A and B are shown apart, each in its own frame.
Chain A
Amino acid sequence: MKPSVIEMIYSQHDEIIRQWKNEVTELNQFDSTLPTNWFHETNEEFVNLIMGTLELEENEAKEQFRSFAERLMNAGWPLSYFTKGMQLFRRVLVQMLTSDESFESEKVFETLNEVEKWVDGVINQLVDEYTGSWENTLHLQKLALKELSAPLIPVFEKISVMPLVGTIDTERAKLIMENLLEGIIEHRSQVVLIDITGVPVVDTMVAHHIIQASEAVRLVGAECILVGIRPEIAQTIINLGIDLRKFPTKSTLRKGIETGLELTQRKIISTS
């Protein structure tokens, strides 16, 4: 930044900070999402950081903003606090700088340009920090969801259960198929129970994926039993005209396990 501009900012340093603080307090009075207890301290720190960037080396200034943003991010401060705060800062600054009437118009333009660059740089960095953190969270959640999405649980020798909970989309349908086939080989299952108690809607696509999965299961030499069909789901399946005659279905997981044991020539007996 041009030394002349920096000098000008410094000459009105205290006044700029005072006015900014006033306006930012006013701006955020209506925003109840902000924690009020350390609002003033944060404003103080924020404005000092902004001013600090004038002296510090670029990388150092960036580092300071990063740790500041990270701290506030974890405390739940919205991004809009920063963007609004910076926009306000620019307005205050421009007002100050241009209120001096002795300024030549050419110089005003130049100064504005410098200020724009400065403020926009800080805004961009803050937005990047925030979106980076969101993307990271989203990515981790996707991974977590994927791990939860289609587990195959070996409950008895030769019998495994896949409980499905929630919406089935194409991505998940693929996972169901993969985990089923891999799990059958790994656990040497002969019977797999797919439990759809937790699936809210069974439309033709969901049914289609389940039919395909059970067909694939048959090909690797195991048998698939569909369990957990709720009465209302049974009626919609009939209305839709989906043909599930090809593979066995049971109303509950318990009945499915009994059938599974039967198919593998075993049964549960009471010892009393």
Chain B
Amino acid sequence: MSVQSNVEVHSEWGIVSARQAGRNLAKELGFGGVDQARFTTAISELARNIYLYAEQGEIIIETVENSRITGVQRGLKITARDRGPGIKSIREVMEDGYTTSGGLGAGLPGVKRLMDEFDIDSVTGEGTEITAIKWLR
């Protein structure tokens, strides 16, 4: 059974509600304090990117499962989807300190470090979809 939460982001309040939804799910699933903070911070980064660069999009948070030899592993997956301008060079945005908005340039590489799995799919002029998973330890 997968629990899902869907948040539209088109204002700064959208970032807050996406974060709230993420924190609640993480708590429910049994993530520890530090991982909850990591997970919500990652959502915050991705939602802010949507608001900043694409103006609107959505954040989907869902539970995922992975069967391993040691048993079923559970985790939470974030999907951040927008129809914004897309990312020109994925290699560049994944470098620390690269920014086009005058920020710190730590957002996406930071999210990758905060999460366990990370994937970007982006087409210039069409939009971006970023997925990231955090496994329950």
Q: Does B96 contact A (CB under 8 A)?
A: yes
Give the docked Cα–Cα distance between A241 and B96 (Å).
Answer: 8
Assess whether A240 is in contact with B113, with CB atoms less than 8 Å apart: yes
Q: A239-B114, A241-B96 are in contact. Are A203 and B41 (CB under 8 A)?
A: yes
Contacts of B103 in A (CB 8 A): 204-205, 208
Specify which chain B residues have a CB less than 8 angstroms from the CB of A202 in the assembled complex. 41
Contact in complex: B38, A242 (CB < 8 Å): no
A241 & B37 in contact (Cβ 8 Å cutoff): no
The reply to whether A204 and B37 contact each other, CB–CB distance below 8 Å, is no
Interface window among A67-75, A89-97, A227-235:
A227-235
Query: B106 contacts A240, CB within 8 Å?
Result: yes
The answer, yes or no, to whether B8 is at the interface (CB within 8 Å) is no
A241 to B41, CA, bound (A): 13
The residue from A170, A232, A235, A242 contacting B106, defined by CB atoms under 8 A apart: A242
Count, A-B residue pairs, CB within 8 A: 66
Contact of B12 among A169, A200, A232 (CB under 8 A): A169
Do the beta carbons of B106 and A204 come within 8 Å of each other?
yes
**B residues 25-63 with Cβ under 8 Å of A?**
33-34, 36-38, 40-41, 44-45, 48
Chain A residues closer than 8 Å to B109, beta-carbon distance: 241
**B36 and chain A: residue at smallest CB distance:** A232
Which chain B residue shows the least CB distance to A171? B12
Chain A interface, >50% SS class: helix
A211 to B96, CA, bound (A): 17
How long is the Cα–Cα vector from A239 to B37 in the complex, in angstroms? 11
Complex-state Cα separation, A167 to B19, whole angstroms = 11
The answer to whether B48 touches A233 (Cβ under 8 A) is: no
Q: Tell me if B110 counts as interface (CB < 8 A to partner A).
A: yes
22 contacts between A and B (CB under 8 A): A167-B16, A171-B12, A200-B19, A200-B40, A203-B45, A204-B106, A204-B110, A205-B103, A211-B104, A231-B33, A232-B36, A233-B37, A235-B34, A236-B34, A236-B37, A236-B41, A239-B114, A240-B41, A240-B106, A240-B110, A240-B113, A241-B96
Q: A203-B48, A231-B34, A241-B109 are in contact. List 12 more A-B contacts (CB 8 A).
A: A169-B12, A201-B40, A203-B41, A203-B45, A231-B33, A233-B37, A235-B37, A236-B41, A240-B106, A241-B110, A242-B104, A242-B106
